[in-house]
Amino acid sequence: MIVLIIFVMLVQLVWMGFHDILVFVHRIVGNLCEFPNPCFNTSNDNNGPCLNGKCYPDFEFGNHSCHCDEGWMGQNCDIDIDECAHPFTNKCSKGKCVNTVGGYICECEFGYTGELCSLLEKHCDSNPCQNGGTCLNKLGKYECVCLPGYSGNNCEIRAYKELNKCYLDCQNGGICKNSDDTECECLPPFSGNLCEIEKPDPCYQNHCAIDSVCAPNIDYISYTCQCPPHLSGQFCERQLPPCEDGYNPCVRGICHKNNEDIEHFTCECLNGWTGPLCDKQIDNEIEVCPLASNPCQNGGQCVGVDGNRGNNKIQKIDGGTTYF
């Protein structure tokens, strides 16, 4: 314990000596350390004679220079600049410039605000205009532009309406409705008080899969993907397996899966249809009793279904041919 105390005391003594050396070195300048440092001043953050600025010593000749803070000038930065006395330093746009120590402030004229009095006071931020009126920011006040049928400083007065008469000039095919409030009923894709705003097509950049159809919803903001029979999901992104989930690729037939192979299937066609997908109709009736020949053998007589020779027909049946 005693050894530790002695060690700490030695460290403190060494540090104090090193600190004194630093202070001494900081006090002198010159090639031969023959000049006192003019910037050394512990009471002024080592800025010496520079009262409102940064002091830079000349390490060769012992002189100094001052780099003044904004708003000050002079050899020792001790002269306050009057920013209001010069047009290029007076930046008050709509106000009176008042000089302060090291700077200036702007006292704004009526209706203006901001550090440099360059902004109109915002009277429309509180949305004072009622019933769809438009607020215009003016000098020291605001003004409401009212929709037809309303008046007053804030469009708060509803004008008299004639029975079943609309005052609105609805645009883009909009219909004026005169119920409790006169308003425009807009057709897609338009909106606004007068249907003057065209909404962007929600299907312009859609995520519907190929072979599907993008259909705007009634709000004309969202959309729905209309899927073909073999696709499903919100964006028709899921391929349905044949013969499952209600997907029957057979146009006029019954779908049968081939064992466990979900990609291959067989169509069992209904009567009168053929083809891999049962999408081709069979011509069931053909002429069989031409006038020049008789298809019936051993003395048989060919008689057509309508009883007239020459217009005889047969009907094809799976497994053979039946004559009528």
CATH code of the domain in which 156 resides: 2.10.25.10
Grouping H, G, I as helix, E, B as strand and the rest as coil, residue 303 is: coil
Who contacts 63 (Cβ-Cβ below 8 Å, separation ≥6)?
Answer: 38, 57
User: What are the pLDDT digits (tens) for 70-102?
Assistant: 888 888 898 888 888 877 778 888 889 999 888
Which sign does the torsion angle of CA 292, 294, 298, 304 carry? negative
**Does 172 lie in the same domain as 152?**
no
**CA atoms of 307 and 217, how far apart (whole Å):** 61
Of 149, 144, 154, the C-alpha closest to 179 is 149
- Residue 302 falls within a domain, yes or no? no
* Three-class DSSP category at 9: helix
Per the structure, the count of domains in the chain is 4
Spatial separation of the C-alpha atoms in residues 271 and 198, rounded to whole Å: 53
Q: How many CB atoms lie within 10 A of CB 32?
A: 6
3-state percent breakdown (helix, strand, coil) of the chain, nearest 5: 10, 30, 60
Measured between alpha carbons, how far is 324 from 322 in angstroms, rounded to an integer? Answer: 7
pLDDT in tens, 136-176: 888 888 899 998 878 889 998 876 555 456 777 889 988 88
Share of the chain above pLDDT 90, in %: 11
Average pLDDT over the chain, rounded to whole? 76
- Phi/psi for 23 (5° steps) reads -60, -40
Q: Which residues contact 226 (CB under 8 A, 6 or more apart)?
A: 212, 213, 214, 215, 236
Contact between 276 and 263 (Cβ < 8 Å) = no
Tell me how far apart the alpha carbons of residues 39 and 29 are, in angstroms, rounded to a whole number: 10
307 within some domain: no
| pLDDT at position 112 over 50 | yes
Q: Using 50, 70 and 90 to split pLDDT, how confident is the model at 48?
A: confident
- For 198-220, how does the pLDDT look when each residue is reduced to its tens digit (9 = 90+)? 888 889 888 999 889 999 998 88
Residue 215 is predicted with a pLDDT of: 92
Q: Has residue 128 been placed in a domain?
A: yes
Identify whether 265 is part of a domain: yes
Residue type (1 letter), 199: K
Give me the domain span that covers residue 140: 122-162
Instruction: Indicate whether 37 belongs to any domain.
Output: no
**283 domain-assigned:** yes
pLDDT bin (cut points 50, 70, 90) of residue 18 is very low
Both tokens assigned to 241 = 């397996």
CA distance 290 to 308: 11
Q: Where are the alpha helices (DSSP H) in the chain?
A: 2-27
Q: What is the SS3 assignment for 96? A: strand
DSSP secondary structure string for all residues of 114-138 = STTS-EE---STT----TTPEEEEE
Is residue 211 in some structural domain? yes
CATH number of the domain encompassing residue 280 = 2.10.25
Residues 6+ apart with CB under 8 A from 14: none
Residue 9 falls within a domain, yes or no? no
